[in-house]
Chains A and B, each alone.
Chain A
Amino acid sequence: MMQERFSFKKGNRARSVFRICNGFFLAITMICVILPLIKICVDSIDPTSYGIRLILHKIDFSAYESIARNSFMYKPFLVSVFTTITGTAIGLLLTTMAGYVIIQQDMPGHKAIVSMIFFTMLFNGGLIPTYLTVKFLGLMNNYLAVIIPVGLSAYNIILMKSFFETIPPTLFEAAEIDGCSPFSVFWKIVLPLSKPALASVGLFIAVSIWNNYMNFILYIPNPDMTNFQVKVRELILSDGVSGTAITVGQDMLKSAVIIVVIFPFLLIYPFLQRYFVKGVTVGAVKE
């Protein structure tokens, strides 16, 4: 990026004003975003908190302690981490392979493959048929029943395809002349050039798997294998029916798990930023 200096000299005044205003505007968007979050944070450590009060009256970290200490809290968290990491790896591999295959315009059956993939975005068999299929194929209590449907989606494949289409074809031709197999072209040329794509789509896949609870509830009935998001949902929706009352501790826990479930991704994005640099991306003008 070009280095710009703030300057209020005649020619640069408007630009500098714009940059300052822009900075403020973005700061305001951040504040708007973060206020409700602060409220949730406060709720998680202040047992006397209610309404929209943002000031702490009392500090009590017991909710976080209980998450760290109780195996029924941290085990699902670890399951989430595990399934997200392996799921993203598997999902990204499958997605990129699929994307690479469908840019081969001359391949016999190319149109059919593209249609077949896109079709899945539009049509869906419904809850019961999908459940029956998974069950009868023996995939219950198998993490693949979460990883594959959530990690491999037509949406991401098509995004990947668009990314790949911006790679100059001359690179492929050169590799072919050299006698490389498609797989090594994929591995040695396509992937290294697609860092921004891998970072974005990888992030999308990771977030989808991390946030998923439905597939876990349906296909992973074993309570030892459940993930953190399921726990979060249980706590948030554990609204009182006659008989089950909610304690202060549970209210704080509700807010604490929300913060905990968001936290890992706050740390991840800054690291991914470095991949969003000049290179192959969707939309770069083709030569």
Chain B
Amino acid sequence: MAKKTFVNGIKKYKWFYLMFLPVFIAFLIFNYIPMVGIVLSFFEYTPFGRPVFIGFENFRTLFSGHSFWTAFWNTLCISLVNLGLGLFCAVGLALLIDEIHSPFYRKLIQTINYIPHFLSWVVIASVFTMILSPKNGIVNGMLQLLGIKPIYFLADEKWWRTVFYCINRWKETGWGTIIFVAAIAGVDQNLYEAAVIDGVNRIQRVFFVTIPAIANTILVVFILDLAKVLNIFDPVWVLQNPLVQRVSDVISTYVYRIGIDNADYGLSTAAGLFKSVISVVLVTVANQASKKIKGEGLL
């Protein structure tokens, strides 16, 4: 009996399988075939010769590295804070933008705010190095007006992460609001009218109507971003320097430095595998939490 429904199922859904076929082939070619290369984590592999099986040696090298664990903790801290802050700012800004009624002003704000997303990190780093310069940067200029001595922000362990988060917000908040503005615009107007009838004031409306209505969007974006969070590289690489190594180094920059001279792809693949496994853990935890809280998860 079960077999018959299974076969029926396939017949019933045959068009769907067909629709999925091109996507399947694309993933096969660009993701799944190369993915077998993950086994290189267990090999000593450089571009010059045959891979040599060495078991867990790459992982041993990685984990016993002088600053690997510092980099690991930094990666978790920096990325998670960045992610949380990012969502908070993007949702907050989207809510504020929603309060603007002039369509022209709305478009203007959003268009301008999302420009930094298009700039490469190299450009952004050089611009902000100038802005934060202890010699003649704007920020220190303003501090001096207040009687505060200039601070060498990017070279100061106490300040680097704060500055890092701010620069990231500058670059990505505008872009992040796109999806939330779309979500807010789609909230059913009836809900608002019902709330007004119930005597709910404006601030309460935001917290009890708008946010719950877009909670699903926030959750989806959160979990999806969580999957990529450990891969952070570009912003750290361009803003790092030897004085702030201890607080700024992340797994990807650490592995990149090792890789520059050695061409040891077995080692960098092992690091990638490690990051993937941790990402799986993070996403699973988040998904389970969301199931408990909202009753359903992403998957």
Q: Do chains A and B touch in the complex (CB under 8 A)?
A: yes
Q: How far apart sit A134 and B33, CA to CA, in the bound complex (Å)?
A: 10
User: Which A residues are CB-close (under 8 A) to B37?
Assistant: 125-126, 128-130, 132
Chain A interface, number of residues (Cβ within 8 angstroms):
93
- Contact segment of A27-35, A55-63, A65-73, A74-82: A27-35
Q: How far apart sit A15 and B227, CA to CA, in the bound complex (Å)?
A: 40
Contact check, A25 vs B19: say whether CB atoms are below 8 A apart.
no
Is residue A155 within 8 Å, beta carbon to beta carbon, of the partner chain?
Answer: yes
Chain B residue, CB-CB nearest to A266: B111
Is residue B68 within 8 Å, beta carbon to beta carbon, of the partner chain?
Answer: no
Is residue B268 within 8 Å, beta carbon to beta carbon, of the partner chain?
Answer: yes
Is residue B285 within 8 Å, beta carbon to beta carbon, of the partner chain?
Answer: no
Contact check, A128 vs B123: say whether CB atoms are below 8 A apart.
no
Contact check, A269 vs B107: say whether CB atoms are below 8 A apart.
yes
User: From residue A209, how far is it (CB to closest CB) to chain B in Å?
Assistant: 13
Q: How far apart sit A20 and B106, CA to CA, in the bound complex (Å)?
A: 14
Contact check, A40 vs B185: say whether CB atoms are below 8 A apart.
no
- Contact segment of A220-228, A241-249, A277-285: A277-285
Contact check, B220 vs A158: say whether CB atoms are below 8 A apart.
yes
Interface size class of B (residues with CB under 8 A): 35 or more
Q: How far apart sit A240 and B19, CA to CA, in the bound complex (Å)?
A: 51
Q: How far apart sit A125 and B298, CA to CA, in the bound complex (Å)?
A: 24
A25-B10 contact given A118-B299, A232-B120, A284-B186, CB 8 Å threshold: no
Q: How far apart sit A282 and B187, CA to CA, in the bound complex (Å)?
A: 9
Contact check, B220 vs A265: say whether CB atoms are below 8 A apart.
no
Q: Tell me which residues from 210 to 226 in chain B have a Cβ below 8 Å from any Cβ of chain A.
A: 212-218, 220, 224
Chain B residue, CB-CB nearest to A102: B20
User: From residue B126, how far is it (CB to closest CB) to chain A in Å?
Assistant: 9
User: Which B residues are CB-close (under 8 A) to A32?
Assistant: 170
Q: How far apart sit A125 and B137, CA to CA, in the bound complex (Å)?
A: 43
Is residue A179 within 8 Å, beta carbon to beta carbon, of the partner chain?
Answer: no
As a 0/1 sequence over residues 19 to 57 of chain A, the CB contacts with chain B under 8 angstroms (1 = contact) are 100110110011011101101100000000001100000
Chain B residue, CB-CB nearest to A213: B120
Contact check, A22 vs B99: say whether CB atoms are below 8 A apart.
yes
User: Which B residues are CB-close (under 8 A) to A15?
Assistant: 202
A-B contact sample (9 more), CB < 8 A, given A29-B113, A107-B9: A52-B137, A97-B22, A98-B20, A107-B13, A120-B31, A155-B224, A199-B182, A279-B186, A283-B216
B interface, CB within 8 angstroms of A:
6, 9-10, 13, 15-16, 19-20, 22-23, 26-27, 29-38, 40, 47, 93, 96-97, 99-101, 103, 105-120, 122-124, 127-128, 130-131, 136-138, 170, 174, 178-179, 181-183, 185-189, 191, 202, 212-218, 220, 224, 227-228, 265, 268-269, 272-273, 276, 279-280, 283, 298-299
Q: Would you mind naming 14 contact pairs between A and B with Cβ atoms under 8 Å apart?
A: A19-B99, A26-B97, A108-B6, A117-B27, A118-B299, A124-B272, A129-B34, A129-B35, A129-B40, A155-B224, A236-B122, A258-B119, A273-B107, A283-B214
